[in-house]
Structure 1
Amino acid sequence: MKHYILFILAITIASCSFAQTSNITQPESISLPVYKANVGRVVFLADTIAFERLKQTDLLSRFEAKAQNNLYMRLFIANSLTNYQHQLNPSLSVEDLNKGNFQFTFYVDGRQIYQENLNKGANLPATKNTKTTISAPLISNRDEASWGKGLWSRFTARGGDDALITGAHLLKIEVRPYISSPDLKVGEIIASGELQFIVPHADVKAVPIQSIKPNSGWQVSGEPFDQNKIMELNGLIAQNKLKDITSIVVIKNGKLLIEEYFNGSSRNSLHDPRSAGKTFASAMMGIAIHDGFIKSENQTLKDFYDLKKFNNYSPRKEAITLKSLLTMSSVFDGDDNDSDSPGNEENMYPTPDWAKFTLDLSVDSSKTGGKQWNYFTAGAMLLGDIINKSVPGGLEKYADEKLFKPLSITKYQWPYSPQHVPSTAGGLQMRSLDYAKFGQLYKNNGVWNDKQIIPASWVKQSFTKYLSLPKDVVGEGYYGYLFWNKTYTVNNKSYETFYCSGNGGNKIFVFTDEPLVVIVTATAYNRPYAHPQVDKMMQEYILPAVLK
């Protein structure tokens, strides 16, 4: 009787909220007893259970986070997602409403830890339009692809792991509808649920520090550091609590302090750092300008291409500067963080001519050159094409003579465009110790072995905070000439770094006020934990150890 009264109350409330605006789609009916008893709830299960066989006794109130245990959630909502979204803006079509999704908010012990507007591609339109109960795995040992597992990974990577320490916790999840067109708008809670989440004690076994073998090409440092911190870090990597890390190299005062390899990699392994390789385009641009093959970064595209031969010609396209490409602030209609953007890098790779793809793009009327930052791989690739056609012998020969040979880098592999031009979109493979040379070159203001390789003025320009990074995309920080910028805080002291960054968690850190260069390579490609776990490594282990 109690469950029936609750059900009638929930339906009455839903009916009142929908009194002024009718449904835009037909939701599935509410019929099974377990559904009627749990309208408006997020419930938790230990396994996949067919909805028609689901019983109240299957719902979990307690979960122990052991390796063998799975955790699933199921939403019971009084109407379909699309109809809830319809209340937020009744003028939108179903197609426009489907561009939104659910918003999830995670709390641990009453404190909000993470909030995410689920990507529009999670859940099919048919699910959004009709379903009133939706299931997804959060933690699963099965090889099953699901937006739920990705959502949980992002939650744990962005604060969840730090909050769910050993012991008992109250995990709470709230679900709201959101729409993204024409502006972001979030509705009221449509489902919520709580679960006692038990994290058992797990010993992290320290793993010994790897000895630095001879013939590294570096003078070995004798400076002390907190070896226990590094051994604890090694243990976390060995136990896969920090995932897919392949190497850590620390250079302090120009000498090799730490050299560690994991997951099958070694000193001679070539790592694919993805977009960390973009920064080499910036280095080569500075060298080419110094040598007079390119006049300055203020030159515009019309100096290098007959733009009227490409699609979507505009005088604004002719005014695009090399500097705006270096700072990812050009007016091209391109944004890698927007899957619908015409200039998204995923649209470039299948085409037979990447430079033509980029130059064919239209300009975005909402952008002002040099003012708005949008991550734009095609622009970084275009810089390489410009250098390639401007320097004698092409980019590959020029980079080898002007950068790699002076640094004694002999083992490396460029990726190539379809025209066999070295691709500065990313993916320049090298050994970790050689990435360290590149980082140390910038730390030395462009000098290596008493020879000026990159102009000191170019290093200074590269390490300038031209644009603030959007907090909702990448968090705090700034952007230079294909260099990222951020500040770590350790023991209430700030440590600023400019760094190269690539998919998977690949980093080349150059610290501005400390004699420190740190390399981290990893293969966590497209994993939500890739970058947050590197921040955790730097903040809690590497910096406290070497700056002690």
Structure 2
Amino acid sequence: MRDRFSLTSLSASLVLALTVSATHLRAESMPPGQADQACGSPSSVDDGWEIASPDSVGMDTAQLCTLVARLAQRSTAVHSVVVVRHGKLVFEQYFAGYDQPWGQPDGQYEFAATIRHDMRSVSKSVTSLLVGIAIDRKLIAGVDEPVLKFFPDYASVKQPGWDAITIRHLLTMSSGFKWDEARAWTDPKNDEPRLVTEPDPLGYVLSRPIAAPPDTLWTYSGGSTELLGNIVERVSKQSLEAFAREALFQPLGITDVEWKAYKNGKIAAAAGLRLRPRDAAKIGQLVLSRGQWNGRQVVPADWIAQSITPRFQAVGLFGGTLFYGYQWWMGRSLAGSKEIKWVGAFGWGGQRIFIVPGLDLVMMTTAAQYGQPKEGLAAIDILSNIVIPSVHDAH
């Protein structure tokens, strides 16, 4: 089989040698505790992951070790790559670099297994899981509940047509209220910055006019997720972060978590979550395992199935053929001549959780490709051209 990952002017063996050499050189400047990390060998940090070698789970270690050279070719701003197979952590690599973390100054940062990273809109997928848990606990009757039922205090800002919008419409980004966040952040017509600057972002969202009937127009909307997060807060009578810690993070053994808030103190359900990449990979494993973690049903299996069922063609974002479920993305990669389906959580700047059910595989990346025209393509390149082809069995 032709080696698709070699530099055109070098042999595969030389690329591997350069990769290992680059990894060795990086080790001299790595944070304490990482200097002995050999080509993606996971660190032992007692966070609940079972650690194994790639070869023991049917993956080619040498193939994975071409990662550094691959990234060097493309001059990407990737900060981490974490790979899980058969429920075991088999590969992790961290890279220092520029970042724009929420609430901290822009600049150069070191990254390691024990350092949190912005998840950005991966937060939306996590919020969806929390909605599923709230429904399972009978705090919400179901996805066909009308949204305005939960916001009687905002009756005065209600626009015509809002009575028809349900929780399901918010989950699938098909509510039809007018929203545009595809513009530059500084564009006054971009609705997303209003979630940060408005003293009452919920009021701003609920006052938006209706542009189309529900279920007829897919529009990516952080405002939809903010309403979902606040519904969970209202029915659980606690902050979204507190509910998430008790209902989701604690069962997964995720203890080092932060969920940033807007200026009015409301948790930013659409974009504020900060996790260690290894913990974000647990979210992927949870979905892959139909809501189970270590034998415990954390999220109902039926909710996972509903969430990752394609419901709309996602138009105009991230490129490629993408479908959208309940705040989760669905797509596919071409590895060799084989088409591989995956489920994803996407965050601005290159934050990605990929779940590949057919290969029993999870891959998580963090990056700082904020505002770049090809934002996030490094992650799909790593998945399609390194991680998936490294799998040499069909189990």
TM-score normalized by the length of structure 1 = 0.60
Distance 1:411 1:303, change over 3 A: same
| Alignment counterpart, residue 355 of structure 1, candidates 202, 206, 210 | 202
Give the aligned length.
Answer: 346
The letter of the residue matching 1:374 is T
Give the equivalent residue in structure 1 for 2:92.
Answer: 259
Give the equivalent residue in structure 1 for 2:131.
Answer: 285
Shift, 1:471, TM fit: 5.8
1:339-393: CA deviation from partner (whole Å, max 9, x where unpaired): 67967212332111111110111111xx221232111111111111111111133
Q: Is the 8 Å Cα contact of residues 169 and 214 (structure 2) preserved in structure 1?
A: yes
In structure 2, distance between residues paired with 1:272 and 1:533: 17
1:245 and 2:78 are equivalent in the alignment: yes
| Alignment counterpart, residue 70 of structure 2, candidates 236, 251, 263 | 236
Distance 1:320 1:500, change over 3 A: same
Give the equivalent residue in structure 1 for 2:140.
Answer: 294
The SS at the match of 1:513 is helix
1:449-479: CA deviation from partner (whole Å, max 9, x where unpaired): 2211101110000011000122676331200
Distance 1:470 1:383, change over 3 A: same
Where do residues 470-481 of structure 1 align in structure 2 (5 Å cutoff)?
470=315, 474-481=319-326
1:219 and 2:55 are equivalent in the alignment: no
The letter of the residue matching 1:278 is K
Where do residues 203-214 of structure 1 align in structure 2 (5 Å cutoff)?
205-207=18-20, 208=23, 209-214=39-44
In structure 1, distance between residues paired with 2:164 and 2:316: 29
In structure 1, distance between residues paired with 2:317 and 2:193: 21
Give the equivalent residue in structure 2 for 1:484.
Answer: 329
Q: Is the 8 Å Cα contact of residues 307 and 318 (structure 1) preserved in structure 2?
A: no
Shift, 1:258, TM fit: 0.8
Q: Is the 8 Å Cα contact of residues 342 and 361 (structure 1) preserved in structure 2?
A: no
In structure 1, distance between residues paired with 2:189 and 2:141: 30
Ranges in structure 2 where 5+ consecutive residues have no aligned partner: 24-38, 97-109
Shift, 1:500, TM fit: 0.2
Q: Is the 8 Å Cα contact of residues 242 and 533 (structure 1) preserved in structure 2?
A: no
The SS at the match of 2:213 is coil
Give the equivalent residue in structure 2 for 1:317.
Answer: 162
Q: Is the 8 Å Cα contact of residues 78 and 378 (structure 2) preserved in structure 1?
A: no
Distance 1:301 1:289, change over 3 A: same
Q: Is the 8 Å Cα contact of residues 353 and 417 (structure 1) preserved in structure 2?
A: no
In structure 2, distance between residues paired with 1:524 and 1:469: 21
Distance 1:323 1:431, change over 3 A: same
In structure 1, distance between residues paired with 2:245 and 2:158: 36
The letter of the residue matching 1:376 is S
The SS at the match of 1:206 is helix
The SS at the match of 1:497 is strand
In structure 2, distance between residues paired with 1:440 and 1:293: 26
Give the equivalent residue in structure 2 for 1:374.
Answer: 219
Q: Is the 8 Å Cα contact of residues 176 and 216 (structure 2) preserved in structure 1?
A: no
Give the equivalent residue in structure 2 for 1:24.
Answer: none
In structure 2, distance between residues paired with 1:231 and 1:308: 54
Where do residues 16-31 of structure 1 align in structure 2 (5 Å cutoff)?
none
The letter of the residue matching 1:298 is D
Give the equivalent residue in structure 1 for 2:174.
Answer: 329
| Alignment counterpart, residue 496 of structure 1, candidates 318, 337, 341 | 341
In structure 1, distance between residues paired with 2:358 and 2:57: 18
Where do residues 105-124 of structure 1 align in structure 2 (5 Å cutoff)?
none
Where do residues 61-140 of structure 1 align in structure 2 (5 Å cutoff)?
none
Ranges in structure 1 where 5+ consecutive residues have no aligned partner: 1-161, 168-202
Shift, 1:211, TM fit: 2.5
Shift, 1:525, TM fit: 1.3
Shift, 1:228, TM fit: 2.8
Shift, 1:166, TM fit: 6.6
Mean Cα deviation higher: 466-475 or 419-428: 466-475
Shift, 1:407, TM fit: 0.7
1:455 and 2:300 are equivalent in the alignment: yes
Q: Considering only aligned residues, what root-mean-square deviation do their CA atoms show, in Å?
A: 2.3
The sequence identity of aligned pairs, in percent, is: 29
Give the equivalent residue in structure 1 for 2:356.
Answer: 511
The letter of the residue matching 1:206 is T
| Alignment counterpart, residue 409 of structure 1, candidates 215, 233, 254 | 254
The SS at the match of 1:330 is coil
Q: Is the 8 Å Cα contact of residues 261 and 272 (structure 2) preserved in structure 1?
A: no
The letter of the residue matching 1:210 is G
Mean Cα deviation higher: 274-283 or 346-355: 346-355
TM-score normalized by the length of structure 2 = 0.82
Q: Is the 8 Å Cα contact of residues 500 and 508 (structure 1) preserved in structure 2?
A: yes
In structure 2, distance between residues paired with 1:240 and 1:523: 17
The letter of the residue matching 2:51 is V
Give the equivalent residue in structure 2 for 1:272.
Answer: 118
1:410-449: CA deviation from partner (whole Å, max 9, x where unpaired): 0011011333232111130011110111111111111112
Q: Is the 8 Å Cα contact of residues 239 and 267 (structure 2) preserved in structure 1?
A: no
In structure 2, distance between residues paired with 1:472 and 1:219: 35
Shift, 1:325, TM fit: 0.8
1:166-206: CA deviation from partner (whole Å, max 9, x where unpaired): 79xxxxxxxxxxxxxxxxxxxxxxxxxxxxxxxxxxx8631
Where do residues 409-448 of structure 1 align in structure 2 (5 Å cutoff)?
409-448=254-293
In structure 2, distance between residues paired with 1:335 and 1:348: 12
1:228-274: CA deviation from partner (whole Å, max 9, x where unpaired): 3222221233x373411111111100011111111221001101121
Distance 1:411 1:467, change over 3 A: same
The SS at the match of 1:530 is coil
In structure 2, distance between residues paired with 1:517 and 1:472: 22
